[in-house]
Amino acid sequence: MGMTQVPETPERVVVIDSAALDTALALGVKPIGSTIFGELPDYLGNQTQGIEIVGEVNQPNLESILQLQPDLILGTKISTERLYHPLSRIAPTVLTEGSGRSGDWKENFLLFAAALGKTERANQLIEEYQQRVSELRTQFNQTHNKSVEETQISVLTTGQGRVGFYTLNSFPGSVLQDIGFARPPAQTRPRRWAAMVSREDLDSLDGDVIFLIYSAQGSESLTVEKFISDPIWSQLSAVQQGQVYQVNGESWIAGRSIQAADKILDDITQALLETRAN
C-alpha cells in the first residue's frame, strides 16, 4: 500500500488476519487485539489468552482498534484494502499483497517479521521448518514401499453437500510440495487455490492418501466417518485402503503461516509415520 514508518520494536500490535496472528505469536510478539473467524484458533492453544477481539476478519471494528491505541497494525490487502486509510490513521498499517492461500505464506511471514523487527528470528524459524520437511521426507522414504515423489496426496474439503480439493497452488499444497509429495493430476493444473467438483468425479478426488479438511464453523463439512460411508466416495481407493485422515481447517486452511505449516507437518507425521509405526 506504499511506504509507511513503523516502530523499531512495536509493543502494541493489532492483527486483522489469522496469518498475522500466527506470525506475531511465533515471533514472540503477543498482539493486544485480533480479529477472528468465529473464534480464536484452537491450534494456537493458550498463546491467544488475553488478546482482545476487535471484530471478525472481514469486519474489523475500527472503534475497538482505536481504543487499544496500537502502534502497528498487520493484515492482508485482500480482505482489508478498503479499510487501509482509516486504519493507517490509527497506526502504521502493513498489509501483505496476498493472503497466503495461494502458497505465498513464506513471503508474507517475512514481511510481517520485518514490520515487527524480527527478521532474524523469522529466518531461523524458516530454517527449522525446512529441516523438519527434510527429516519427514527422509523418514517417509525409509519406512514406505515408495517414495514421496511416487505417493499421491489428495487434499479434500466438503460442505453443504459439495466436495472440492485444494490445489498445488494453495497453503496446504505448498507444504506438501515442499516435502515432495505427488498430487492427483487434477489438483496440479493451473488454477486458484481450491476448486469444487462433481461428487462423481472420483479421479479428481482420489489419491494414495486423502487428507479430509474438517471445519466445525458452520460449513457443514463432513467427518471422516460420514465421508467414508458415502455410497459414492466409499469407492475411492484411499477409502478402501483406510488411508483417509481428518485434519483441522483452522490450521490447514485459515492459518497460512509458520505455526499452521508446522501443524500440517505434525498431522502428516502422525498419519503417515506414527500410525504406520504403531
pLDDT digits (tens, 9 = 90+) for 16-53: 999 999 999 999 999 999 999 889 999 999 999 999 99
* Cβ within 8 Å of residue 265, ≥6 positions away: 129, 132, 133, 136, 175
Residue 240 sits in a domain whose CATH number is: 3.40.50.1980
Structural domain including 52 reads: 13-119
Please tell me whether residues 101 and 138 are part of one structural domain.
no
C-alpha cell at 45: 492453544
Going by C-alpha positions, the residue among 123, 118, 119, 95 that lies closest to residue 11 is 118
Please tell me whether residues 143 and 232 are part of one structural domain.
yes
For residue 39, is it within any domain?
A: yes
Going by C-alpha positions, the residue among 216, 203, 194, 210 that lies closest to residue 38 is 216
Residue 277 has pLDDT above 70, yes or no: no
Please tell me whether residues 140 and 107 are part of one structural domain.
no
Please tell me whether residues 57 and 32 are part of one structural domain.
yes
What pLDDT is attached to residue 163?
A: 96
The tally of domains found in the chain comes to 2
For residue 2, is it within any domain?
A: no
Instruction: Indicate the SS3 state at residue 180.
Output: coil
What pLDDT is attached to residue 105?
A: 97
In our burial notation (b when 16+ CB lie closer than 10 A, e otherwise), range 130-160 reads: eebbeebbeebeeeeeeebeebbbbbbbbbe
Q: How many CB atoms lie under 10 A from the CB of residue 190?
A: 7
Of the residues 69, 92, 119, the one at which a domain ends: 119
Please tell me whether residues 206 and 241 are part of one structural domain.
yes
pLDDT digits (tens, 9 = 90+) for 248-270: 999 999 999 999 999 999 999 99
For every residue of 138-170, DSSP letters joined together read: HHHHHHSSS-GGG-BEEEEEEETTEEEEE-TTS
157-174 average pLDDT score: 94
pLDDT digits (tens, 9 = 90+) for 184-232: 999 998 678 999 999 999 999 999 999 999 998 766 899 999 999 999 9
What pLDDT is attached to residue 61?
A: 97
